[in-house]
Each structure stands twice: as C-alpha cells, then as structure tokens.
Amino acid sequence: MELVSVAALADNRVIGDDGELPWPSIPADKQQYRERIAADPVVLGRRTFDSMREDLPGSHQIVLSRSHDAFDVDSAHHAGGVEEAIEIAESLDAERAYVIGGGGIYRLFQPHVDRMVLSRVHGSYEGDTYYPEWDEQVWELADETAYDRFTLQERVRADTGEDRDQ
C-alpha cells in the first residue's frame, strides 16, 4: 500500500494558524485536494478530524489519537499509533492512503510516506503549525504544475538504499 502525504504549505512551510489556513481560500487547490483523496482512506489527527466533521474527506477516516473515545461516524476508525493506522488502511484493501494532517501527524508519518503531494502556496504567512522539513537528497521532484497562487509539486522517495528515517 502506498502512503501519500498531502498538504498545502507556504514558502516558509506554514500550514496553519490557530486551526485555520493562514491564507485566503484557494478554490482550485481545495478542489484538486478533495478530488485526489475522495475515494481513499485518509489518516488525520483528532483535531483535524473534528474541524472537518461537517464535510469529512476520504472514503474512511483513520483518526490518530491518544484518546480512545468512540466516533459517531461509521467511516471513522481510531488508531493509537502509526503502525496501527497503517494496519487499518491495509485492512480496508486500499491501494493507497493519504496523510492529511495536522502538523504532528505529518511529522509522525514523514519517515513512512512513499510520496508527497504538496500545494506550495506562494508567499510566506504567519502561523503556528508547520509541515516538516525533508532532505532534498531523499526526495525527488517528480512533477510540478503551476496554478494561480500555488504550485502543485509531487515528490517521490528516492531509492537511496537507506533506511526510511529521513
């Protein structure tokens, strides 16, 4: 199963500010993001899940949380850690699962993802949540498409023969 990190981040890697996007809405980015993840399971943290309850993304939501509270959503699954989240995604017979945030979830999964699909929002913004840094030697730029206000980049893990702790 392929594990893909999907995020929108500013030039300074900011992804959020007090639970909100720090930049004005970009409809083209939201549309491509929603279409990309619609048919597959998504992995997200509890706060991100709660913020999206009115319009949950993905076919299933695998919610990484220390709390063992049950969810009142049939498509939501609790995972206590990275390995359990991956096992749940595999049990759903998914070809891929998308990691969609927040910041702590991106950091936890960074050593495990096979691909990153990043909307690079033009400009720097103030915020309190950042996408993790990555080693340019471990990640190759596979595709790049320019849009108004953002550039969509797809990065794949290079075959370096090294362990996936980069």
pLDDT of residue 160: 52
Neighbours of 2 (CB within 10 A): 13
Instruction: Output the DSSP codes for 61-102.
Output: EEEE-S-----S-TTEEEESSHHHHHHHHHHTT-SEEEE---
Whole-number Å distance between alpha carbons of 72 and 70: 7
Is residue 164's pLDDT more than 70?
A: no
For 17-56, the pLDDT digits (tens) are: 999 999 999 999 999 999 999 999 999 999 999 999 889 9
The pLDDT score that the predictor gives to residue 159 is: 73
Q: How far apart are CA 2 and CA 112, in angstroms?
A: 10
pTM of structure: 0.93
The class level of CATH for 2-12+38-157 reads alpha beta
Q: Decide which of 45 and 161 is more confident.
A: 45
pLDDT tens digits along 64-110: 998 877 788 999 999 999 999 999 999 999 999 999 999 999 999 99
Which pLDDT score, from 0 to 100, does residue 165 have? 47
The pLDDT value recorded for residue 166 is 44
Asked whether residue 161 carries a pLDDT value surpassing 90, the answer given is no
pLDDT of residue 146: 98
